Structure 1
Amino acid sequence: MKYVSKRNGMAYSSLNYETICFHVKDLKSAIALINDDRILKFNEMHDFIDDITQEELNKGLEAVKEVLANDGELLKEYFAMFKEVSTQEASLKYAKEFKKDEIDKARDLVIEGGVSYKDKIFQSAVKDRNLLTSTVSLFAITKQVPEGFVWIAKDNTAIPFTLEELIELGSIMANSVNTNTIKARNLKDKIEQVKTLEELESIVWSD
């Protein structure tokens, strides 16, 4: 397989961040992934005759997504170029995927952003929820917490807690996970139903 610039037919044996950045910022060209035995056509002036297929562009986008897994902004720029040279069907297909990823990130941000209890914000990432569950299970044996037991709030203040309050905090966190997971699922179901990019853009995560 080889990577080919749609604009000028330039071919690469591998794909990296610098190559993608050059195509986005300077060449303004999408990248296709084609078979090694695929013959590229050039005219007598050595100008590239563009016969890149949509499937080859799709494969190129998949490869770009892998390289840019940690650079969402550059990926957005690349996708904007991809849409300009792609069919509406392909553009909508991948736009839906990106929108679903956007919803998932918004869901995780809310779930892990902390919960309010006792006039404080408490951390609620997976490790925090697991620690709380383990703590409740440990103290459930004696049905009470040790004297002077505290739980650390997000601002690093030590807050006194009873076992009942620990359980209630856990319930609040679990409810947040459940509520926001369902919200994300409903939004992604709506994403599947849209027929145009305009409809897709109207779907957003809101508080």
Structure 2
Amino acid sequence: MTIDLSGLITPADKLREAKERKRSEITAACQAAIDGGFFFDGHHYDSDQRSQTNIIGTCNAVAAGVPLPEGFIWRTADNQDVPMDVAGIIALGAALLAHINAQYAKSWQLKAMADQAESMGDLSDITWQTHAE
């Protein structure tokens, strides 16, 4: 009698699949953090895709020499109007870049931890909040 064991799922298979799920979870958390806004100069700004496009586009325009309209403001996530000049816009763009890069760096570190996990318990200990902001 021959028993076919090819269809059995081993503990190593389960851990590999759990690692793949953890990586997907981290990717989703990273995107949510990127889109969740950022702080700059004491204000909270939106950073969803539309806001990223607006900030980057405005930075590119002023860098190309396009003047800002007189009395130019940027609206914060909580609807406060903040006066901005060219230097302020460039600094806002730099803060957005730093925010996005920090989220990616955090995700890369957590994914490396997931890849190195040796047990399901190790994996369950890895959450977006386990890494210092």
Shorter chain as denominator, the TM-score bin is: 0.7 to 0.9
2:124 alignment counterpart? 201
2:7 corresponds to 1:53? yes
Structure 1 vs Structure 2: percent identity of aligned residues?
27
Structure 1 runs (4+) greater than 6 angstroms displaced: none
Q: How does 1:89-168 map to 2 (within 5 A)?
A: 89-142=12-65, 144-168=67-91
| Aligned residues of 1:144 and 1:162 also touching (Cα < 8 A) | no
Partners of 2:61 and 2:46 in 1: CA distance: 20
Partners of 2:62 and 2:97 in 1: CA distance: 19
TM-score, with structure 1 as normaliser: 0.55
Q: Which has the larger radius of gyration?
A: 1
Partners of 1:190 and 1:119 in 2: CA distance: 33
Greater shift, 140-149 or 102-111, is seen at: 140-149
| Aligned residues of 1:112 and 1:123 also touching (Cα < 8 A) | yes
Give the SS at the match of 2:82: strand
5+ residue gaps, structure 1 = 1-50, 55-85
Higher helix share: 2
Greater shift, 169-178 or 186-195, is seen at: 186-195
Residues 91-132 of structure 1 show CA distances to partners (whole Å, capped at 9, x for unaligned) of: 111111111111112211211111112322111122211211
Give the SS at the match of 1:116: strand
Aligned residues: 126
Letter in 2 for 1:149: F
Letter in 2 for 1:53: G
5+ residue gaps, structure 2 = none
CA root-mean-square deviation: 2.0
